[in-house]
Structure 1
Amino acid sequence: MPRTARTVATPTADVGVLIPVDVHFDDLDTLGMLHNSRYQVLVERAWVAFWRDRGFGGEKGIEGDGFNVIKAFSITYDVPVTMFGQYGVHLWVERMGTTSTTAGYRVCSADGGTTYAHGSRTVVRLDSTTLLPTPWSDRAREVARTIEAPQV
Protein backbone atom coordinates (compact mmCIF):
# COMPACT_ATOMS: atom_id res chain seq x y z
CA MET A 1 0.00 0.00 0.00
CA PRO A 2 1.54 3.39 -0.98
CA ARG A 3 2.20 5.97 1.71
CA THR A 4 0.27 9.21 1.48
CA ALA A 5 0.85 12.57 3.11
CA ARG A 6 -1.16 13.40 6.18
CA THR A 7 -2.44 16.67 7.55
CA VAL A 8 -0.97 17.82 10.86
CA ALA A 9 -3.08 20.14 12.97
CA THR A 10 -1.62 23.58 13.64
CA PRO A 11 -2.67 25.89 16.48
CA THR A 12 -5.64 27.10 14.39
CA ALA A 13 -6.19 27.47 10.67
CA ASP A 14 -6.00 31.26 10.87
CA VAL A 15 -2.72 31.38 12.81
CA GLY A 16 0.55 32.14 11.08
CA VAL A 17 1.48 32.74 7.49
CA LEU A 18 2.03 30.48 4.48
CA ILE A 19 5.16 31.38 2.52
CA PRO A 20 5.67 29.91 -0.99
CA VAL A 21 8.97 28.06 -1.54
CA ASP A 22 10.40 26.18 -4.50
CA VAL A 23 11.88 22.70 -4.45
CA HIS A 24 14.33 22.33 -7.33
CA PHE A 25 15.33 19.17 -9.16
CA ASP A 26 18.78 19.26 -7.56
CA ASP A 27 17.21 19.36 -4.05
CA LEU A 28 16.16 15.74 -4.54
CA ASP A 29 18.47 12.93 -3.48
CA THR A 30 19.37 9.77 -5.44
CA LEU A 31 16.12 8.16 -4.24
CA GLY A 32 14.09 10.98 -5.80
CA MET A 33 13.12 12.50 -2.43
CA LEU A 34 13.82 15.92 -0.98
CA HIS A 35 17.13 15.50 0.87
CA ASN A 36 16.67 15.77 4.63
CA SER A 37 19.05 18.76 4.87
CA ARG A 38 16.97 20.76 2.38
CA TYR A 39 13.93 20.98 4.66
CA GLN A 40 15.81 23.28 7.03
CA VAL A 41 16.96 25.39 4.07
CA LEU A 42 13.33 25.81 2.96
CA VAL A 43 12.32 26.88 6.48
CA GLU A 44 15.19 29.39 6.70
CA ARG A 45 14.33 30.84 3.28
CA ALA A 46 10.70 31.22 4.32
CA TRP A 47 11.71 33.10 7.50
CA VAL A 48 14.01 35.40 5.53
CA ALA A 49 11.19 36.14 3.06
CA PHE A 50 8.73 36.79 5.90
CA TRP A 51 10.98 39.33 7.67
CA ARG A 52 12.37 40.97 4.51
CA ASP A 53 8.82 41.52 3.19
CA ARG A 54 8.19 43.47 6.38
CA GLY A 55 11.32 45.63 6.07
CA PHE A 56 13.69 43.76 8.39
CA GLY A 57 17.26 42.73 7.75
CA GLY A 58 18.64 45.80 6.05
CA GLU A 59 20.83 45.86 2.98
CA LYS A 60 23.04 42.96 4.09
CA GLY A 61 20.23 41.06 5.79
CA ILE A 62 21.95 40.96 9.16
CA GLU A 63 21.33 44.38 10.67
CA GLY A 64 19.31 44.98 13.84
CA ASP A 65 16.78 42.26 14.56
CA GLY A 66 18.14 40.37 11.55
CA PHE A 67 21.36 39.66 13.44
CA ASN A 68 20.30 36.43 15.10
CA VAL A 69 21.47 32.85 15.32
CA ILE A 70 19.79 29.46 15.56
CA LYS A 71 19.78 28.02 19.07
CA ALA A 72 17.68 24.93 18.31
CA PHE A 73 16.01 23.35 15.30
CA SER A 74 13.78 20.29 15.55
CA ILE A 75 12.06 18.44 12.73
CA THR A 76 9.80 15.46 12.30
CA TYR A 77 9.57 14.05 8.80
CA ASP A 78 6.00 12.95 8.09
CA VAL A 79 6.17 11.76 4.47
CA PRO A 80 8.71 12.50 1.73
CA VAL A 81 8.52 15.24 -0.86
CA THR A 82 9.02 13.33 -4.11
CA MET A 83 8.59 16.01 -6.78
CA PHE A 84 10.17 19.34 -7.50
CA GLY A 85 7.89 22.35 -7.79
CA GLN A 86 6.19 24.90 -5.57
CA TYR A 87 5.45 24.08 -1.94
CA GLY A 88 4.80 26.15 1.15
CA VAL A 89 6.21 26.71 4.60
CA HIS A 90 3.62 27.56 7.23
CA LEU A 91 5.18 29.68 9.99
CA TRP A 92 3.92 30.85 13.36
CA VAL A 93 5.45 32.25 16.55
CA GLU A 94 5.02 30.06 19.62
CA ARG A 95 6.87 32.21 22.16
CA MET A 96 8.82 35.45 22.05
CA GLY A 97 11.07 36.10 25.01
CA THR A 98 13.34 39.04 25.71
CA THR A 99 16.14 37.89 23.39
CA SER A 100 14.90 34.61 21.87
CA THR A 101 11.94 33.45 19.82
CA THR A 102 10.57 29.96 19.29
CA ALA A 103 8.46 29.39 16.22
CA GLY A 104 6.63 26.44 14.76
CA TYR A 105 6.63 25.50 11.12
CA ARG A 106 5.28 23.01 8.62
CA VAL A 107 6.81 22.20 5.25
CA CYS A 108 3.65 21.62 3.29
CA SER A 109 1.88 21.69 -0.05
CA ALA A 110 1.46 25.07 -1.70
CA ASP A 111 -2.12 25.30 -0.40
CA GLY A 112 -1.12 24.24 3.12
CA GLY A 113 -3.33 21.17 3.06
CA THR A 114 -0.65 18.47 3.17
CA THR A 115 2.19 18.39 5.69
CA TYR A 116 5.50 16.78 4.77
CA ALA A 117 7.50 17.78 7.86
CA HIS A 118 6.95 19.89 10.95
CA GLY A 119 8.90 21.18 13.92
CA SER A 120 10.15 24.20 15.77
CA ARG A 121 13.00 26.66 15.52
CA THR A 122 14.49 28.90 18.22
CA VAL A 123 16.64 31.93 17.42
CA VAL A 124 18.51 34.36 19.67
CA ARG A 125 19.03 37.99 18.70
CA LEU A 126 22.64 39.08 19.20
CA ASP A 127 24.35 42.42 19.52
CA SER A 128 26.50 42.65 16.38
CA THR A 129 29.47 44.09 18.30
CA THR A 130 29.57 42.03 21.50
CA LEU A 131 27.85 38.89 20.11
CA LEU A 132 25.84 38.73 23.34
CA PRO A 133 22.06 38.28 23.46
CA THR A 134 20.19 41.56 23.10
CA PRO A 135 16.45 42.35 23.29
CA TRP A 136 14.19 42.32 20.25
CA SER A 137 12.97 45.72 19.07
CA ASP A 138 9.40 46.83 19.71
CA ARG A 139 8.80 46.73 15.95
CA ALA A 140 9.93 43.08 15.73
CA ARG A 141 7.61 42.20 18.62
CA GLU A 142 4.71 43.93 16.86
CA VAL A 143 5.29 41.99 13.64
CA ALA A 144 5.76 38.69 15.50
CA ARG A 145 2.40 39.19 17.22
CA THR A 146 0.70 39.13 13.80
CA ILE A 147 1.56 35.41 13.46
CA GLU A 148 1.57 34.42 17.11
CA ALA A 149 -0.20 31.23 18.16
CA PRO A 150 -2.57 31.47 21.14
CA GLN A 151 -0.99 30.36 24.40
CA VAL A 152 -2.40 27.06 25.67
Structure 2
Amino acid sequence: MKFTVLIAVLAVMTSCKGISQEKDMAKDKGQEKMKEFKVQKTEAEWKAELTDAEFYVLRKAATENPFTSELLDNKKKGTYVCAGCGTPLFKSETKFDSGTGWPSFYQEIEGNVGYDVDYKIGYKRTEEHCATCGGHLGHVFEDGPAPTGLRHCINGVALNFVENK
Protein backbone atom coordinates (compact mmCIF):
# COMPACT_ATOMS: atom_id res chain seq x y z
CA MET A 1 0.00 0.00 0.00
CA LYS A 2 2.74 2.49 0.99
CA PHE A 3 4.69 1.56 -2.13
CA THR A 4 1.66 2.24 -4.37
CA VAL A 5 1.07 5.65 -2.75
CA LEU A 6 4.77 6.48 -3.12
CA ILE A 7 4.69 5.58 -6.82
CA ALA A 8 1.56 7.68 -7.35
CA VAL A 9 3.10 10.72 -5.61
CA LEU A 10 6.30 10.39 -7.65
CA ALA A 11 4.31 10.12 -10.89
CA VAL A 12 2.36 13.28 -10.07
CA MET A 13 5.52 15.19 -9.12
CA THR A 14 7.45 14.26 -12.26
CA SER A 15 4.56 15.12 -14.54
CA CYS A 16 4.50 18.75 -13.36
CA LYS A 17 6.12 21.21 -15.75
CA GLY A 18 9.12 22.90 -14.21
CA ILE A 19 10.26 26.30 -15.40
CA SER A 20 13.59 26.62 -13.63
CA GLN A 21 15.53 26.01 -16.87
CA GLU A 22 13.55 28.46 -18.99
CA LYS A 23 15.34 31.67 -19.86
CA ASP A 24 13.79 35.03 -20.65
CA MET A 25 16.02 35.43 -23.69
CA ALA A 26 14.40 32.46 -25.45
CA LYS A 27 11.48 33.54 -27.57
CA ASP A 28 7.95 32.24 -27.19
CA LYS A 29 7.24 28.80 -28.56
CA GLY A 30 4.48 30.19 -30.75
CA GLN A 31 6.82 32.33 -32.84
CA GLU A 32 7.48 30.82 -36.23
CA LYS A 33 11.02 30.15 -37.36
CA MET A 34 12.26 32.56 -40.00
CA LYS A 35 12.30 30.58 -43.25
CA GLU A 36 13.29 33.20 -45.79
CA PHE A 37 16.99 33.99 -45.91
CA LYS A 38 19.09 35.96 -48.40
CA VAL A 39 20.96 32.79 -49.37
CA GLN A 40 18.51 30.08 -50.47
CA LYS A 41 19.72 26.69 -51.69
CA THR A 42 18.24 23.25 -52.05
CA GLU A 43 19.33 20.45 -49.76
CA ALA A 44 21.19 18.90 -52.70
CA GLU A 45 23.08 22.15 -53.32
CA TRP A 46 24.06 22.42 -49.65
CA LYS A 47 25.21 18.77 -49.62
CA ALA A 48 27.36 19.37 -52.70
CA GLU A 49 29.04 22.48 -51.22
CA LEU A 50 29.54 21.47 -47.57
CA THR A 51 31.49 18.67 -45.94
CA ASP A 52 29.37 15.99 -44.25
CA ALA A 53 30.07 17.48 -40.82
CA GLU A 54 29.25 21.03 -41.96
CA PHE A 55 26.03 19.83 -43.59
CA TYR A 56 24.77 18.02 -40.51
CA VAL A 57 25.55 20.90 -38.16
CA LEU A 58 24.54 23.83 -40.38
CA ARG A 59 21.53 22.30 -42.17
CA LYS A 60 20.32 19.58 -39.76
CA ALA A 61 21.10 21.36 -36.44
CA ALA A 62 23.46 18.64 -35.23
CA THR A 63 26.14 19.27 -32.61
CA GLU A 64 29.79 18.41 -33.12
CA ASN A 65 31.61 16.50 -30.39
CA PRO A 66 33.23 18.74 -27.77
CA PHE A 67 36.98 19.44 -27.97
CA THR A 68 37.14 18.38 -31.65
CA SER A 69 37.13 21.77 -33.38
CA GLU A 70 40.38 23.04 -34.88
CA LEU A 71 39.15 26.54 -33.98
CA LEU A 72 38.79 25.82 -30.27
CA ASP A 73 42.34 26.89 -29.36
CA ASN A 74 42.78 29.42 -32.17
CA LYS A 75 44.32 32.61 -30.72
CA LYS A 76 44.90 34.50 -33.99
CA LYS A 77 43.28 37.87 -34.67
CA GLY A 78 40.53 37.88 -37.25
CA THR A 79 36.89 37.14 -37.94
CA TYR A 80 34.88 33.95 -37.63
CA VAL A 81 32.51 33.60 -40.60
CA CYS A 82 29.69 31.22 -41.48
CA ALA A 83 31.05 28.06 -43.14
CA GLY A 84 27.94 27.99 -45.32
CA CYS A 85 27.87 31.48 -46.78
CA GLY A 86 30.84 33.48 -45.45
CA THR A 87 28.83 35.98 -43.37
CA PRO A 88 31.01 37.52 -40.60
CA LEU A 89 29.60 36.29 -37.26
CA PHE A 90 32.13 36.83 -34.44
CA LYS A 91 35.33 38.85 -33.92
CA SER A 92 38.35 37.13 -32.36
CA GLU A 93 38.44 39.84 -29.66
CA THR A 94 35.20 38.47 -28.22
CA LYS A 95 36.35 34.82 -28.08
CA PHE A 96 37.07 33.28 -24.68
CA ASP A 97 37.85 29.87 -23.19
CA SER A 98 34.60 28.66 -21.63
CA GLY A 99 35.95 25.19 -20.84
CA THR A 100 32.94 23.63 -22.57
CA GLY A 101 34.77 22.20 -25.58
CA TRP A 102 33.22 24.52 -28.17
CA PRO A 103 34.44 27.90 -29.40
CA SER A 104 32.73 30.52 -27.25
CA PHE A 105 32.19 34.24 -27.74
CA TYR A 106 30.64 36.88 -25.49
CA GLN A 107 29.31 38.99 -28.37
CA GLU A 108 28.13 38.41 -31.94
CA ILE A 109 28.47 40.80 -34.86
CA GLU A 110 25.16 42.62 -34.58
CA GLY A 111 22.61 41.79 -37.26
CA ASN A 112 24.48 38.74 -38.60
CA VAL A 113 23.24 36.18 -36.07
CA GLY A 114 19.58 35.19 -35.74
CA TYR A 115 17.87 33.57 -32.78
CA ASP A 116 15.19 30.94 -32.36
CA VAL A 117 13.83 28.60 -29.69
CA ASP A 118 15.02 25.03 -29.33
CA TYR A 119 13.16 22.46 -27.18
CA LYS A 120 15.17 19.43 -28.36
CA ILE A 121 16.48 18.44 -24.92
CA GLY A 122 13.26 19.02 -23.01
CA TYR A 123 13.53 22.68 -22.07
CA LYS A 124 13.71 26.01 -23.82
CA ARG A 125 17.11 27.13 -25.13
CA THR A 126 18.05 30.02 -27.39
CA GLU A 127 19.38 28.63 -30.66
CA GLU A 128 21.62 30.71 -32.92
CA HIS A 129 21.70 30.64 -36.69
CA CYS A 130 23.35 32.61 -39.48
CA ALA A 131 21.02 35.48 -40.37
CA THR A 132 22.05 35.23 -44.04
CA CYS A 133 21.66 31.50 -44.82
CA GLY A 134 19.88 30.14 -41.75
CA GLY A 135 22.68 27.71 -40.89
CA HIS A 136 22.59 26.36 -37.31
CA LEU A 137 25.52 27.68 -35.28
CA GLY A 138 24.89 26.64 -31.66
CA HIS A 139 23.21 28.17 -28.61
CA VAL A 140 23.58 31.23 -26.42
CA PHE A 141 23.54 31.02 -22.62
CA GLU A 142 23.49 33.63 -19.86
CA ASP A 143 26.63 32.43 -18.07
CA GLY A 144 29.34 34.27 -20.00
CA PRO A 145 31.84 36.94 -18.99
CA ALA A 146 31.49 40.72 -18.88
CA PRO A 147 30.61 42.92 -20.59
CA THR A 148 27.58 41.00 -21.95
CA GLY A 149 27.25 38.06 -19.56
CA LEU A 150 26.51 35.87 -22.58
CA ARG A 151 28.20 32.71 -23.84
CA HIS A 152 27.65 32.04 -27.53
CA CYS A 153 28.53 28.33 -27.62
CA ILE A 154 29.23 27.68 -31.30
CA ASN A 155 30.00 24.53 -33.27
CA GLY A 156 33.47 25.08 -34.73
CA VAL A 157 32.54 23.17 -37.88
CA ALA A 158 29.90 25.87 -38.58
CA LEU A 159 32.67 28.48 -38.76
CA ASN A 160 35.60 29.39 -40.96
CA PHE A 161 38.31 31.73 -39.72
CA VAL A 162 39.56 34.70 -41.72
CA GLU A 163 42.83 36.00 -40.25
CA ASN A 164 43.55 39.75 -40.15
CA LYS A 165 46.37 40.73 -42.48
The answer to whether the superposition gives a TM-score over 0.5 is no
Larger Rg over CA atoms: 2
State the TM bucket, normalised to the shorter chain. under 0.3
Q: Which has the higher contact order (CA 8 A, sep 6+)?
A: 1
Larger proportion of strand: 1
TM-score, normalised via structure 1 length? 0.22
